[in-house]
Chains A and B, each alone.
Chain A
Amino acid sequence: MTAPNTAAPVSAQQQEQPLLRLVGMGKNFGPVRALQNVDLDIPAGQVTAILGDNGAGKTTLIKCISGIWQPDHGHVIWQGRNVTLHTPKDATDLGIATVYQDLALCDNLDIVQNMFLGRELTRRYQLDEINMELSAKQTMKDLAVMSVRSIRQPVGSLSGGQRQAVAVAKAVMREAKLVIMDEPTAALGVSQTRVVLNLIRQLASQGIAAIVISHNLNDVMSVADRLAVLYLGRLAAVGPKSDFDAQVVVDLMTTGTSRRLAEQASPGND
């Protein structure tokens, strides 16, 4: 329906080491196989959208990446190294930031205070407000989404899209290399959605990898470089966005296969 609003760096720039590689990931809950044998590469500087119907395993997958759950099978390979994520903190320390739907911001604190929460700069045991504000301002400017004039307003007074932007900026400020966003545009209006989609593109243009989980095909098609479609815990298809169109994606999400995709010759793993 809409063309992507930023030129996507879809070029086959990197066939080298992806930032994150999942190999044979599996997760069971009792008899329920929530994830089975998922292989997925997350390259730096690209937006990977994970699509799937309810119960397809999207949330299970990102919880395994962000350290909330441990996969029962398979490996997480981060920058070429095999890693085990026991806790969310392990993931955060590696540079994997997850922006949850409830966003976890303090409404009574302002933007700068939220962005530096838990990592405040100090100067002679006192908060160094000036350097924090300058640094926060720069990050917001790099992300090119917010009026910098408002950086000292309480987060509680912001709109949904602006709050999302602050949450993402907070992650970026913590030197995240991979930002995972769960339904970032759910509950947002048209203009706020546009702000958030611009923001996601900005992340990619700074070389940060992004994983976006969404039900909204329009948003996904306009923001993602790569799509991964899950169906009943299996990876139904993965590839650059150009391999897919909306109808194919819907087929994959609802049935796990798509005749049209098959007709387009090999879907290929990248």
Chain B
Amino acid sequence: MSTEIQQPADAEADEMAAHAAEVAAPDVIANSLGEYARIWLSRVRGGESGALPVILGLGAIVAYFQIRTSLFLSAGNLVNLMSQAAWIVTLGMAEVFVLLLGEIDLSIGYSSAMGAVITLWMVSPGNHFPWWIAALAGLAVPAVYSAVQAVLITRLRAPSFVVTLGGLLMGEGLLLFLINNAAPNSGGIIRLPATNVLYYIENSNVNPAADWVIMAAAVVLSGIAFWVRDSRRRASNLAAPPASVTALKIAVMAVAGVIIVLIGNTNRGRFVTAVRGLPWVVLVVTVLLIAWSVLLGRTRFGRYVYAIGGNAEAARRSGINLTRVRVLAFGLCGLTAGLMGIILASQQGGMSTNVNGGQNVLYAVAAAVIGGTSLFGGRGRMLGALLGGLIVAVIYNGLSLLGLGDAAQYMWTAAVLLAAVAVDTLARRRRPDQT
């Protein structure tokens, strides 16, 4: 036994390295394109599949609808789909902030509508507030609403499910109160004037030439950012993806950008006048996605959100102010929900007391979970919420094209949600950490 103890730990180190090859991201340990592909495949088999199942599922659903009706992949319908998906994608991204903490915010369906009502009241003909001040107010109200609930959650150490359930009920009451006061005798509807900038978000398109310029600028800038980051890693002698992989990523991004802009810039006018260009809301959601992904992935705040979701006690012992991070995350959740409220009001041309905030927020949770976010915290990404929200919107859009109604839509969404959870759970069983 003593000879064994004298042995250096080489064998063990090798074993660890072999193990690491299957667990660490290929980005940081592969040295060639071939090795990258091999590690990536072994991770998929090992349950670390990332966005792959969501993308495959989205592809399968899209293929099904395209086979059933050739209208599905027409430019007109795809642009329509983007407009329809915008609110659920945005609300899904809002929910990711709190789901990552291992919490939930049920109140954002109604608080977003409350914010929208305040915005609509401020831009209504009698009040003349500039659209951007009204929009800021519409973002601030749900942000504060969620942050206050977060203070209650952290102070009382109460479960967020219960506190935000109270927030949901309170929000529904406040919404009715606000609409009835802001637009009395209007049948519970407050309208957004079609001449307002906020109405253009969902109902007006970016100039086709500007689409190309913005897309090219975005691809070039993020391409440079990727390239510089990977080059710096290589220069520091850290394991980095090979240049070919970096180039491949940038190429995929460019191709995706070109396809989206081509779809948006195809004439979809049904009559004499041509209709071209991507809706403004696509730009809004893209900017939001990039901003929140950077915030979660590349800042201290984002790191702390993941840390608290992973092990709150460890985060506390490391000197992280749990209360501050939690309140801030709930506030950002509410802020993003406020944006969703404005998008929804823009899409519908106003806000009414019929808005189903309870169901909307559950759709948002479904979008996030379909996109791979764990309800137990610590795992999930903004991009996942985008993909999950797209799946929900594709189901709605495709079934509407097929002339099937709400009944089919609910059942399809339920099936996809259960399939997503099943795939995720089965994949996680094969993973060593079980989180």
Interface 1/0 per residue, B29-68 and A, CB below 8 Å? 1000000000000000000000000000000000000000
User: Could you tell me if A117 and B433 are in contact, using CB atoms closer than 8 angstroms?
Assistant: no
Please tell me if B315 contacts chain A, counting CB pairs below 8 Å: yes
User: Could you tell me if B13 and A109 are in contact, using CB atoms closer than 8 angstroms?
Assistant: no
Complex interface: stretch among B104-112, B231-239, B396-404: B231-239
CB distance from A229 to the nearest CB of B (A): 24
Q: Which residues of A contact B (CB under 8 A)?
A: 1-3, 5, 88-89, 102-110, 113-114, 117-120, 122, 125-127, 130, 133-134, 137, 145-147, 149-150, 152-157, 162, 190-191, 194-195, 198, 222
Interface 1/0 per residue, B273-306 and A, CB below 8 Å? 0000000000000000000001000111001001
A residues in contact with B16, CB < 8 Å = 146-147, 149-150, 162
Q: Which of A113, A149, A194 contacts B9 (CB 8 A)?
A: A194
User: Could you tell me if A154 and B433 are in contact, using CB atoms closer than 8 angstroms?
Assistant: yes
Please tell me if B2 contacts chain A, counting CB pairs below 8 Å: yes
User: Could you tell me if A127 and B433 are in contact, using CB atoms closer than 8 angstroms?
Assistant: no
Complex interface: stretch among B17-25, B139-147, B242-250: B17-25
7 contacts between A and B (CB under 8 A): A104-B311, A104-B313, A107-B378, A118-B319, A127-B300, A152-B28, A153-B23
User: Could you tell me if A152 and B24 are in contact, using CB atoms closer than 8 angstroms?
Assistant: yes
Given A88-B317, A106-B310, A117-B318, 12 further pairs, Cβ under 8 A = A105-B311, A106-B314, A108-B378, A117-B303, A118-B315, A118-B318, A126-B294, A127-B300, A137-B238, A145-B9, A152-B25, A156-B432
Please tell me if B334 contacts chain A, counting CB pairs below 8 Å: no
User: Which chain A residue has the least Cβ–Cβ distance from B313?
Assistant: A104
Taken together as a complex, chains A and B put the C-alpha atoms of A190 and B1 apart, in Å, by: 10
Q: Which residue, A1, A102, A108, A133, has most C-beta atoms of chain B within 10 A?
A: A108
User: Which chain A residue has the least Cβ–Cβ distance from B12?
Assistant: A191
B residues in contact with A5, CB < 8 Å = 5-6
User: Could you tell me if A3 and B2 are in contact, using CB atoms closer than 8 angstroms?
Assistant: yes
CB distance from A128 to the nearest CB of B (A): 10
User: Could you tell me if B433 and A107 are in contact, using CB atoms closer than 8 angstroms?
Assistant: yes
Please tell me if B434 contacts chain A, counting CB pairs below 8 Å: yes
Taken together as a complex, chains A and B put the C-alpha atoms of A162 and B239 apart, in Å, by: 21
Please tell me if B307 contacts chain A, counting CB pairs below 8 Å: yes
Q: Which of A106, A130, A147, A157 contacts B23 (CB 8 A)?
A: A157
User: Which chain A residue has the least Cβ–Cβ distance from B307?
Assistant: A106
Please tell me if B435 contacts chain A, counting CB pairs below 8 Å: yes
Please tell me if B309 contacts chain A, counting CB pairs below 8 Å: yes
Please tell me if B197 contacts chain A, counting CB pairs below 8 Å: no
Taken together as a complex, chains A and B put the C-alpha atoms of A2 and B238 apart, in Å, by: 39
Q: Which residue, B6, B21, B310, has most C-beta atoms of chain A within 10 A?
A: B310
Taken together as a complex, chains A and B put the C-alpha atoms of A104 and B2 apart, in Å, by: 32
B residues in contact with A114, CB < 8 Å = 314
Please tell me if B268 contacts chain A, counting CB pairs below 8 Å: no
Taken together as a complex, chains A and B put the C-alpha atoms of A153 and B236 apart, in Å, by: 19
User: Could you tell me if A109 and B306 are in contact, using CB atoms closer than 8 angstroms?
Assistant: yes
A residues in contact with B21, CB < 8 Å = 149
CB distance from A159 to the nearest CB of B (A): 8
B residues in contact with A88, CB < 8 Å = 317
User: Could you tell me if A126 and B9 are in contact, using CB atoms closer than 8 angstroms?
Assistant: no
User: Which chain B residue has the least Cβ–Cβ distance from A130?
Assistant: B236
CB distance from A178 to the nearest CB of B (A): 17
User: Could you tell me if B303 and A127 are in contact, using CB atoms closer than 8 angstroms?
Assistant: yes
User: Could you tell me if A156 and B434 are in contact, using CB atoms closer than 8 angstroms?
Assistant: yes
User: Could you tell me if A109 and B307 are in contact, using CB atoms closer than 8 angstroms?
Assistant: yes
A residues in contact with B313, CB < 8 Å = 102, 104
Taken together as a complex, chains A and B put the C-alpha atoms of A145 and B16 apart, in Å, by: 11
User: Which chain B residue has the least Cβ–Cβ distance from A100?
Assistant: B317
Q: A108-B433, A157-B19 are in contact. Are A149 and B239 (CB under 8 A)?
A: yes
User: Could you tell me if A107 and B12 are in contact, using CB atoms closer than 8 angstroms?
Assistant: no
A residues in contact with B318, CB < 8 Å = 104, 117-119
User: Could you tell me if B299 and A108 are in contact, using CB atoms closer than 8 angstroms?
Assistant: no
Taken together as a complex, chains A and B put the C-alpha atoms of A24 and B2 apart, in Å, by: 40
Please tell me if B320 contacts chain A, counting CB pairs below 8 Å: yes
User: Could you tell me if B435 and A108 are in contact, using CB atoms closer than 8 angstroms?
Assistant: yes
Q: Which of B1, B2, B294, B306 contacts A106 (CB 8 A)?
A: B306
User: Could you tell me if B319 and A198 are in contact, using CB atoms closer than 8 angstroms?
Assistant: no
Taken together as a complex, chains A and B put the C-alpha atoms of A146 and B378 apart, in Å, by: 25
User: Which chain A residue has the least Cβ–Cβ distance from B434?
Assistant: A156
A residues in contact with B5, CB < 8 Å = 2, 5, 194, 222
User: Could you tell me if A113 and B311 are in contact, using CB atoms closer than 8 angstroms?
Assistant: no
